[in-house]
Amino acid sequence: MYVNIRRAEIPSLRFQRAAAIPSFHGMTTFLDLLRSPRTPLYLAPQAGVSESPFRRLCRRFGADVVVSEFVSAAGIVMGTRRSRDYLRFDEAERPIGIQIFGADPAQMADAAALVSDVYGPDFVDINFGCPVKKVVKRNGGSGCLRDLDLVERIIRAVKAATPVPTTVKIRSGFDEATRDPVGIALRCQDAGAAVLCLHPRTRADMYSGQARWDEIAAVVDVLDIPVIGNGDIRTGADAARMRDETGCAAVMIARGSHGDPWIFAQARAALDGKPVPPTPDTEERFEICLEHARNAIAFERDPSRAIIDFRKHLGWYTKGLPGGRRLRTELFQATTLQDVERLLEGYLDEQRSAAPA
């Protein structure tokens, strides 16, 4: 069972969180959200990050739509345990999409059909954006962008295999020579994509340089389907600026959410023209971190493995704190939740003792 810390149990909490499940006045699908005047916020699909516990936490802070970690179509069809773990989600996470990747249209269609029938997500998303070498070398993710005919065949196959909407996430091209976000987006739309998300970097760019938001605006201008903007959203104000500069129908947040799920509450406020809530102080940040850790342990089958996998989140939650490097060195050796609780409480005690009277 998930742990949910209530405000009454922690009187020191002062950060105003968003409602657990945002209300959309009778809207019943994520497509309704994209066509509404209220710009929805997406949690991006991120390997090793956007697991169910983190998705739930981001939903509570104001993410309107979440997407699973990307899952191999081959793994889904073969029924591997790892793939099944990636596909689990809770009803409270809806609307949710499951993202799949692969380079074989028939296998992608089989995976989409299985995912839709067995797990029932609100949409199936196709990953044409992942730049990671082990994915690209199998022609998956952004590797598909080297063959736009293949991109179209995959979209058509997946769309024909599932009754839920088929969406796609792309980059601007494989490299600078093939950079053509408008051309790629038009082909995705023509193949049947219901929604398109653009991260305006090429695969060769990886995560370097600056995302070219003007390319998002150019894609918005030519497509008839909703366009989601992604890339370089590090603050709530960035989300509002992306919407204003590009006209995108929604904003997707990826790395900006690492150790910072409250970015969704800050982005929501900025988008709605309201005062942006302050960043939580250290004590509250640690309470949120521990809630996340407890839920991660409850979600995984192996608690000892769960705390090891959670170490990356511990690094993000403690980034930028005074003496954070020493704290992270100790946290990265933790093997139990009790170790983590002891280390965080010890850090708070040190900070309280060092504070001027």
Catalytic residue among 130, 188, 197, 289: 130
Q: 8: burial class by Cβ within 10 Å (0-12, 13-18, 19+)?
A: exposed
Phi then psi for residue 199, to 5 deg, are: -100, 105
Cross-strand partners of 97? 67, 123
Q: Residue 308 corresponds to which tokens in the numbers above?
A: 């090891």
Q: 47: burial class by Cβ within 10 Å (0-12, 13-18, 19+)?
A: middle
Q: Measure the CA–CA gap between 344 and 321, rounded to whole angstroms.
A: 12
Sign of CA dihedral 332, 338, 340, 344: negative
Q: Measure the CA–CA gap between 103 and 89, rounded to whole angstroms.
A: 25
Phi then psi for residue 347, to 5 deg, are: -65, -45
Q: Measure the CA–CA gap between 106 and 124, rounded to whole angstroms.
A: 15
8 A C-beta contact, residue 236 and residue 204 = no
Q: Residue 61 corresponds to which tokens in the numbers above?
A: 């802070």
Q: Residue 239 corresponds to which tokens in the numbers above?
A: 């989300």
Query: 106: helix, coil or strand?
Result: helix
| Closest CA relative to residue 257, chosen from 246, 265, 248 | 265
Amino acid identity at 179 = R
Please say if 130 is a catalytic residue.
Answer: yes
| Residue 224 exposure: Cα atoms within 13 Å on the Cβ side | 6
Helix axes 263-271, 236-246, angle to 10 degrees: 40
Phi then psi for residue 208, to 5 deg, are: -85, 165
Catalytic sites, residue numbers: 130
